[in-house]
Structure 1
Amino acid sequence: MKKIRIPWYFIQRFLGIVMGAVIVAISINTFILPNHIADGGVTGIAIILYYIFQWDVGLAVFILNIPLFILGYKAVGKQLFYWSILGVGIMSVSLRFTQFLEPLTTNTLLAAVFGGVITGIGMGIIFRCRGSLGGTDILAIVLNKKTQMSVGQIILIFDAFIFIAAAVIFNPETAMYAMIYMFIAAKVIDLVQVGLDYNKSVLIVTEKPDAIAAEIIGCVNRGATFFHAEGAFSNTPKKVIYSVINRAQLTQVKEIVHRHDPDAFVSIGDVSEVVGEGFTPWKGH
């Protein structure tokens, strides 16, 4: 009988989404719900329903997502659809089974800040594993195909309505704390997905491209690429050097350029993620 071998990347993706969903649920039960802070998306609606009617948040999240999953089945693709169901299911169950956890703080500002950090870590892990927690993300993808608005704009509009509802039903401070919470969560999501190791891209227009490129490759141990360009003012052909380096190597590269050509034009930019030889290896993502 032939054994079924489950690929390791599939197991990693599964465990990552499960872990991320559990972390988000713990954050909601220990920071958000006890301190009456709203959230965005479907989770935000479920939290408002909990505050008003004492409905179970986990069950509400699951029920509210059902019509969205039905609506978005064809729009989001089978892969994201099934992984989203996993994320929503695990978070709903985790919200139910982590209700016993005591609040970690009764200070609303601290709850918004640290709740944003913990939620951001959980969501970042889920996104890094190419999953989602369904909700308005799916609805936004569906509406994006039928309107001129981007997915981000649609999600922002939904969240704005939820924050306005929280301000009207409760008080403006509730909405303000929710905005702090969402802002911090968004920043932490980016950090988890991309990491702290920001790299730099360097574009060099110089009269000594071969010497500079050779030293970047030989001394800095980074690759360099030539772009063939033409000066708009002089109409003379030029070799433009492009290279991606880490922050620690930036000073060394600038010294190399200045030594060979003090009149060189250098443009330096931030690169949030680099995948390939010499940087982060491909891992099937």
Structure 2
Amino acid sequence: MDTTTAPAPARADVIVRHSVAEDILGMVTGTFTVSLGLFLLTTSGAVTGGTAGLAMLLSYAGGLSFGVLFLVVNVPFFALAVWKKGWNFTLRTMVAVALVAGLASLHPVALGGLTLHPLYAALGGNLLAGVGLLILFRHRASLGGFNILALILQERLGWRAGYVQMALDTTVILVSFAVVEPASVLLSAVGAVVLNLVVALNHKPGRYLGA
């Protein structure tokens, strides 16, 4: 009879932390995916929610660089992140925002002038952005702005981050009627629902224990 002691099964509630290399790769992958999704949106003149959506609206209205505006509109939310989430999360978020802003300038050079069907751009762009956000959330980062507020409300009150984000994004989409064609606004609204469903269905409190 084999008396060798079998290894104890891993506990489901044990948090397995990401290594530094995993965090770096996760940050690069997440920001690249988000920035590519945002690039698809801009090719069709669509918008999205959050501070990215605000930056898009300002760039459409004033012709300024999306990357620069994305950095600027996130600055006030960094203070909230330091207060409620600490410096570790805030620094990761600052890096993520800076990477997205930088990559936003790279895609037009690398991919050139793409011509995409507006529905494909709106749905595909938001789907990529949602997947990228999930990756960043799971490496203790975000894209600033509404992401920070949504994560804080999920942790403190148990509200789903995706649903909180959806409510805030809806406000941005409604404001976009003043800048964007109504047809593009409707496509943007559908795309924003896709993005936030991706987050809401895959980022539930207690489901993912990596850190």
TM-score after normalising by structure 2: 0.76
Pick the aligned partner of 1:181 from 177, 181, 191. 191
**What residue is the counterpart of 1:128 in the other structure?**
138
Pick the aligned partner of 2:101 from 65, 88, 92. 92
Partner of 1:131, secondary structure, is coil
**What residue is the counterpart of 1:46 in the other structure?**
55
Rg comparison, structure with higher value: 1
- The 5 Å alignment of 1:210-229 reads none
Deviation at 1:98, TM superposition (A): 2.0
**What residue is the counterpart of 2:82 in the other structure?**
73
Higher strand share: 1
Which residue identity is paired with 1:67? Answer: P
**What residue is the counterpart of 2:22 in the other structure?**
12
Distance (whole Å) between structure 1 residues aligned to residue 137 and residue 151 of structure 2: 16
8 Å contact from structure 1 (residues 125, 192) kept in 2: no
Partner of 2:101, secondary structure, is helix
8 Å contact from structure 2 (residues 119, 187) kept in 1: yes
Which piece of structure 1 moves more, 173-182 or 44-53? 173-182
Which piece of structure 1 moves more, 103-112 or 150-159? 150-159
Aligned length: 191
8 Å contact from structure 1 (residues 105, 111) kept in 2: no
Deviation at 1:13, TM superposition (A): 1.1
8 Å contact from structure 1 (residues 125, 193) kept in 2: no
Deviation at 1:56, TM superposition (A): 0.4
8 Å contact from structure 2 (residues 29, 132) kept in 1: yes
Deviation at 1:97, TM superposition (A): 2.1
Deviation at 1:157, TM superposition (A): 4.1
Higher helix share: 2
Sort the Cα spacing of 1:126 and 1:141 in 2 relative to 1 into closer, same or farther, 3 A. Answer: closer
Distance (whole Å) between structure 2 residues aligned to residue 75 and residue 140 of structure 1: 12
The alignment's C-alpha RMSD in Å is: 3.2
Distance (whole Å) between structure 2 residues aligned to residue 79 and residue 15 of structure 1: 17
Distance (whole Å) between structure 1 residues aligned to residue 51 and residue 143 of structure 2: 9
Gaps of 5+ in 1: 1-6, 195-271, 276-281
Gaps of 5+ in 2: 1-16
